[in-house]
A = this chain, B = another copy of it.
């Protein structure tokens, strides 16, 4: 049976929504969940629910890392924090994957401390799914952007690894056949961007396992031309947060700018459910969180504001990744990568 280690104390709504989400996931799928955190607190939360003690186990640890703590310091000073203990369950083989809604930094550093990386992957990357207009009628209306901030800068070779890992993830988890991958750049031509981007472009073209479709510009990110967008963490972080900010702004802008007009008011009234839906669609918690790519085991970072449903989705996603051997496939394709180390 697949086992998932869940950081019960990480996130804005921990432990309540995490525990509730774990209960939901345990009922939906044949999966064993380790709830890592303060035992008495978790037990109190579990009292609210029907659950099977076969599929939900508590691993007690008194420490946890809060959302606003410095991840670097906390990971050093609190070796028994829930997210670190959960990561160690994965490294010692008790669990097959890690799920946490804790701060991104604490999850990345905890995973890095305990879980082995895929050989030749120096640093993991965070991938995020986001909704597209799907103008090109692909199988999936979602696309994946990687890296959105695990790193600041990455080498051309690392960008190629991101493309391979992202494509593997999308093919397996989202069921997209031969996913298209593109490099985010300031123009479509091969000669655009820095030397590093041009090198990455040339390397990406040569990878047999990739369906590389060239550079993509900012204006086309939402159109859904490709399944995987590859970029350095600095750029990916700013772009994905820009999209989040735009989604939040969408209804706001209408209201502020056109307050005086009756027809616009009516329009917003009729659209209010639709606007709420747009905000939901752009919240990646709905898709079960952001996978951290580059480890030999799957690590899912759920949104800090995750509801029970989002946590449940993240656990299901982790379970599916394990069943489909996503990390093993990534490792194999990364191994095939016929590029010289820098």
Enumerate chain A interface residues (CB-CB to B < 8 A). Answer: 133-134, 149, 152-153, 184-186, 193-194, 217-223, 233-235, 237-246, 248-250, 252-254, 256-258, 261, 263-264, 266-274, 277-278, 281
B254–A194 CB distance below 8 A: no
Query: Shortest distance in angstroms between A125's beta carbon and chain B's nearest beta carbon?
Result: 14
Query: Shortest distance in angstroms between A338's beta carbon and chain B's nearest beta carbon?
Result: 28
A89 to B237 CA separation, bound complex (whole angstroms): 43
The DSSP consensus for interface residues of chain A is helix
B274–A264 CB distance below 8 A: yes
- 5 further A-B pairs in the complex, CB-CB below 8 A; given A152-B194, A219-B245, A258-B277: A186-B238, A218-B241, A223-B249, A254-B271, A257-B281
Instruction: Given A153-B194, A193-B152, A268-B267, check contact A238 B217 (CB 8 Å).
Output: yes
Stoichiometry, as copies per complex, reads: 2
Q: Which residues of B contact A238 (CB under 8 A)?
A: 184-186, 217-218, 235, 239
Q: Which residues of B contact A254 (CB under 8 A)?
A: 271, 274, 278
A241–B268 CB distance below 8 A: no
A186 to B240 CA separation, bound complex (whole angstroms): 10
Nearest residue, chain B, Cβ from A134: B256
A271–B274 CB distance below 8 A: no
